Structure 1
């Protein structure tokens, strides 16, 4: 009887080529959002802080454009951190207040990142909203209902996993190792539990992982799967091949910290933190489920159509996963030690 996993090879090759053709995806790592925090000082004066992410020493192409009626007081301050540039200024709204004002982000439409806007008023109340590449502006309004908040964070989680090519490649590698549907379920469940644990720990502030070494470690987890995929194809055995759920759990803890980087930078109000964590994680799981389902659907289609593929097709996904994992590991390690 032919193993059902035989048909994963052409399916994964097909999807892999499609991913390579998407603009900006291969060079992207995280859909780490930008963040704007507006803090009320006194009267009509506010402090505006715009956090623009940096990706591999490349500045964020978007910029913050304030309403024309707002007047900047004093000299704006620019400060660079390891993973972002922080622009801070004091503004006067000229007595117009915030309600109905529009923040624009020219250049955001050419990225894959969202921008979260947080408004902290003098009475302690906090309001949030979001700008997206498909809508590079945000209208400042009053407090949002819970379902709007849930939708925002659900979309952010879904967006984060589907545009995080390194996370998807790791899941692809796991799919190429598992030998049965039961093992597939165990492996995906183990990965889900692991990254949910560290996502919660990091978001709640109990632990954190520095982004440069974390990115290198995630790339290393992908490179690790390359040789394991080839061993599985040759019928050899190893701990990872026999129990892929162990590798999924161990490396899933690292990937959870990576997911947290896409959530912790948004400046989540404490009142929204439980909802944000829940819905962001559900968005990640939904995106992962969509991705795995697409792979299995493609495999089923190729099996049903009885397409005969050349032998070399079977090795392309393994070498692609391993090679790209190695490339990212070297690239991110050089960035980490200041080589670039």
Structure 2
């Protein structure tokens, strides 16, 4: 027979450590899993318009920069910083049918870089440069990296703390018999707005979307506590409707990630589908881990279940409120 007091102490220590780690990591990690993007479009023979986008983490740009062949000087360069992205644009006149493009500093990061080169003649190039392989050979034609969008989708949900906490809140709020329908409603809703935004051009301003996502997380934390206290609320009676409504907003949040890198030319629908499937795979993986942990805790230390649920509910509510205040301050006061 296991030593239950020792197990309870161990679980409490794990929860405390996990909570402290999440509180330090989550604010910086929310919605920051985004690749860099380099777009090179030939507008006249030997003349290219270049756009370089890279994520900004905690107000600091990553020390990565595209390096073109030596003859490709930058002309008319200007820089903008919309939201959490650094955007640089310039024109260059050179021969990009030979040589290589390198993302300097990429090997010191965990970031991927999408590269798209549209030529007036010859094969276009679409590639993903990674820290282990940050160089693109311009003499080797490559197709659009459609399959990579699946991995981007998985990473966006697994490392996107705001979306993970929303899913965790739903798991805490709903009863087991409601879980499948509730998660399905959330999936269907964000799939609708993700497709509408990326393929149909239907968009919402980024700051209100991010603020609403944060508020939805805070609401779920509060509702999860209401369930623990035995209060019967609307969210508990029809959680699928709540999940569907907020899922529509979260879909615009997912679309924001795709907007940073765009969709590969000629394969937009397939790339979007793979991204969405990746998001769902990450979500299923996360929920499966949660249910497995809940089963183990229930079997070994059932008395720890209620305190653990309360700690998680308060943490979800706290983080949702923190993100909402942070995003409101950033949107309206530039803080």
Q: Deviation per CA, 1:113-162, whole angstroms, max 9, x where unpaired?
A: 432211111138643212345655544441327xxx34201001111111
The alpha-carbon distance between structure 1 residues 15 and 323, as it changes in their structure 2 partners (threshold 3 A), is same
Question: Quick check: 1:109–1:132 contact (8 Å CA) kept in 2?
Answer: no
Q: TM-score, normalised by structure 2?
A: 0.86
Match of 1:316 in 2: 311
Q: TM-score, normalised by structure 1?
A: 0.84
SS in 2 for 1:173: helix
State the Cα RMSD in Å: 2.8
The alpha-carbon distance between structure 1 residues 230 and 73, as it changes in their structure 2 partners (threshold 3 A), is closer
Match of 1:65 in 2: 66
Match of 1:102 in 2: 101
Match of 2:247 in 1: 252
Q: Deviation per CA, 1:66-91, whole angstroms, max 9, x where unpaired?
A: 14534315342223334433212233
User: Are 1:289 and 2:284 matched, yes or no?
Assistant: yes
Question: Quick check: 1:35–1:266 contact (8 Å CA) kept in 2?
Answer: yes
Question: Quick check: 1:61–1:108 contact (8 Å CA) kept in 2?
Answer: no
Match of 2:190 in 1: 195
Unmatched 5+ stretches in structure 1: 1-9
The alpha-carbon distance between structure 1 residues 240 and 73, as it changes in their structure 2 partners (threshold 3 A), is closer
Match of 1:28 in 2: 29
User: Are 1:225 and 2:216 matched, yes or no?
Assistant: no
In structure 1, what is the Cα distance between the partners aligned to 2:126 and 2:189?
A: 29
User: Are 1:91 and 2:87 matched, yes or no?
Assistant: no
Match of 2:4 in 1: none
Moved more, 312-321 or 71-80: 71-80
Match of 1:163 in 2: 159
Match of 1:120 in 2: 118
Aligned length: 322
149, 153, 156: which is aligned to 1:153? 149
SS in 2 for 1:143: coil
Unmatched 5+ stretches in structure 2: 1-10
Match of 1:272 in 2: 267
1:284 Cα deviation from its structure 2 partner = 0.4
In structure 1, what is the Cα distance between the partners aligned to 2:255 and 2:324?
A: 20
In structure 2, what is the Cα distance between the partners aligned to 1:131 and 1:213?
A: 32
Moved more, 316-325 or 75-84: 75-84
